[in-house]
Structure 1
């Protein structure tokens, strides 16, 4: 939970247990979100779930692009049972329906702040910032930043209802899953689905980042962290169904927002988990994240590759961290 200890410079920064001086410190075990009941979402907001047939695949990577410290390898043959996963990340509209029905209060709201990328805050908000992680000055701890006000109290999601919800902690994502009757995907399920049937490829569509010169994901374009030329069309989040889907019909498995997974994070993941439905369940202090985000850049955080992994504490929230849902069965399958 120390903001000075990051997995990589542009990944989601971990929460500091001492929030900015706003008198809103909260314990993660308190508040209305601790007892969110399991409910089903309104029919019109049911997720577009994609059935993924079980099978074997090469998980991880042994290439020089990988980060050994993250435990991206050694690559190995893994078998996954059939499951289903949402075609895209949970949207602001879907998360708002959850909040309206349950009264859920996210951890960012309880703590009173969340991390926002420095280029997105207004001058008025910037003047109030009093916590910046050492080694990652592009992250500002902004009072009032949360899923509904992603850049601080003077921002809104009203024009971004089909963008992925952000500023959600792993605990928040779990609460949403309890309500929707679903769950978070395991790392193995996530990577298997993200590959879309392709074997040993770098991205969901192949090995070239921009086939035929076309952008296929939302990542940083320019000189990080001060100049983003937005040549892929977006500075921050993109709509959840932006760009072309992969072979299974899944959107934005690379870039846009990091996505929480069910596993606890451990660098030795590929050595200590089984080859059949691998999952690491022993608490380590950090949960796994996959997919990279709009802040990823080859020079700083080449983690929008399929085998890339990262981590964060389960109470952490940032403006580039969201999730998608999964389930172990699918009607009619």
Structure 2
């Protein structure tokens, strides 16, 4: 199989758009969800009816932690010189308290889901070209049968320095047979890795797990509130000191994508709880694997929210997807960065970092965690 065909499969066919460089400023009008809005003022916590403390009568679900409600400036802080355009401008939001998984969903947890439901992830299913071509430019040719087989994207180191970090096809390859059970392709396995994050999970896969577990994906605002903890205006969940990064998160140390020095202890994926938790007791809110949120990725959403000049209570993100670089894209926001993030590429271990990911695209460094609200917990009790 020729390299151009592989590139076609990775970039067009599966719609993976890694936005790890400065975004162009959006100059479009976007529609936001029908959120409850209240004019911001200095006493916003008093004017908004925010659920802060957990009701005493409600128990914390196993494996989760209570995230107190509050207000925050969503987006890049002023001192963050690594911030990208689509992280700006910062805008004030308010979030009700909720429960969140202490760690990413693990292989062990996903195994239970699959055993109970018989679910097969998108990376394991036969490819439907008729459905897939709807997301591609009209006239896009059908790939050869040799690559029209189930698989996913896996990482490969390059043999020499890469002068162009915009061309991510140099370190990503479409690998037939790669999926959550075989994260590095045929011959690999998750044996002995029950406490590792499950990866190669598409958005639909994450939603299926959420339905089974009576949970949901976090909104981007909820995720950022949880990651920030009690740090109001810092770049990272521990503060602004990047020198302690190797002790705080699983990221890429060394020259990307040639050599990982493993100063942080790992070359690729790490088990959950391998690094310190944040203020709220959450692990891996920086590095290790990217995590799905429920928000559509829309290039102009942050700017419009800021221009509205209002504090939005429990924002749900843009009402429709839009990526100025690819008008065919239908993408959701992912957060947190991964073991591939380095200072020269992405630096997405920052709280405000965000990327777009197509709904059906799964990779070796993409997983998720779930959340639950008081209403969801009470509804679940009623069903039982």
Please give the range of the TM-score, normalised by the shorter of the 2 chains.
Answer: 0.7 to 0.9
User: Structure 1 pair 208/157, CA: closer, same or farther in 2 (3 Å)?
Assistant: same
Instruction: Say if 1:90 and 1:135 are closer, same or farther in 2 by CA, change over 3 A.
Output: closer
For 1:302 and 1:195, the matched residues in 2 are separated by 16
TM-score (norm 2): 0.69
Q: Does 1:49 align with 2:86?
A: no
TM-score using structure 1 length: 0.80
Aligned length: 282
- After TM superposition, the structure 1 = structure 2 runs for residues 55-74 of structure 1, keeping only pairs within 5 Å, are 55-61=70-76, 62=78, 63-68=80-85, 71-74=86-89
1:187 corresponds in structure 2 to 220
2:118 counterpart (71, 94, 103): 103
Residue aligning to 1:283: 320
Secondary structure at the aligned position of 2:230 is classed as coil
**1:270 Cα offset (Å):** 2.1
Q: 2: distance between equivalents of 1:214 and 1:150?
A: 24
Report how far residue 215 of structure 1 moved: 1.4
- C-alpha distance in 2, partners of 1:113/1:220? 25
Residues in 1 aligned to 2:212 and 2:265: alpha-carbon distance in whole angstroms: 34
Superimposed CA distance per residue, residues 9-53 of structure 1 (whole angstroms, 9 cap, x where no aligned partner): 69xxxxxxxxxxxxxxxxxxxxxxxxxxxxxxxxxxx75111111
Take 1:49 and 1:226, find their aligned partners in 2: how far apart are those partners? 37
The structure-2 alpha-carbon separation of the partners of 1:76 and 1:8, relative to structure 1 and needing over 3 Å to count, comes to closer
Change (3 A) 1:196 1:308: same
- Which one has a larger percent helix, Structure 1 or Structure 2? 2
Which residue number corresponds to residue 348 of structure 2?
A: 303
Would the aligned equivalents of 1:52 and 1:82 in 2 still touch at CA under 8 Å? yes
- The match for 1:36 is none
Which 10-residue stretch deviates more, 323-332 or 244-253? Answer: 323-332
The CA distance in 1 between the partners of 2:231 and 2:300, in whole Å, is 25
Out of 169, 176, 188, the position equivalent to 2:202 is: 169
Contact kept in structure 2, 1:9 and 1:136, CA below 8 Å: no
In the alignment, which residue of structure 1 is the partner of 2:188? 155
Matched position secondary structure for 2:93: strand
Q: Do the aligned partners of residues 4 and 178 (structure 1) sit closer, same or farther apart at CA in structure 2, a change above 3 Å counting? A: closer
Deviation at 1:283, TM superposition (A): 3.4
Distance in 1 between the 2:263 and 2:239 partners?
20
CA contact (8 A) 1:146 1:152 kept: yes
Higher mean alpha-carbon deviation, 234-243 vs 56-65, is at 56-65
Structure 2 Cα separation of the partners of residues 5 and 312 of structure 1: 6
Question: Which position in structure 1 is the counterpart of 2:134?
Answer: none
How far does residue 224 in structure 1 lie from its aligned partner after superposition?
Answer: 0.6
Residue pair 2:151, 2:178 contacting (<8 A) in 1 also: yes
1:93 to 82, 103, 108: 108
- Residues 98 and 373 in structure 2, CA contact (< 8 A), matched pair in contact too: yes
Which protein has the larger Cα radius of gyration, Structure 1 or Structure 2? 2
Do the aligned partners of 2:88 and 2:302 also contact (CA within 8 Å) in 1? yes
Q: What's 2:17 paired with? A: 6
- Could you list the structure 1 runs, at least 4 aligned residues long, displaced by more than 4 angstroms after superposition: none
* Cα offsets for 1:48-89 (capped at 9, x unmatched): 111111111121114432100xx2111122111111111110
Partner residue, 2:234? 201
Task: Provide the residue aligned with 1:75 in structure 2.
Answer: 90
2:16, 2:358 within 8 Å by CA — same for their partners in 1? no
Aligned partners of 2:157 and 2:259 also within 8 Å: no
Check conservation: 2:301, 2:318, Cα contact below 8 A: no
Q: Per-residue deviation at 1:6? A: 2.5
Q: What are the Cα deviations for residues 149-180 of structure 1, in whole angstroms up to 9, with x where unaligned?
A: 00011000012110100000011000000000
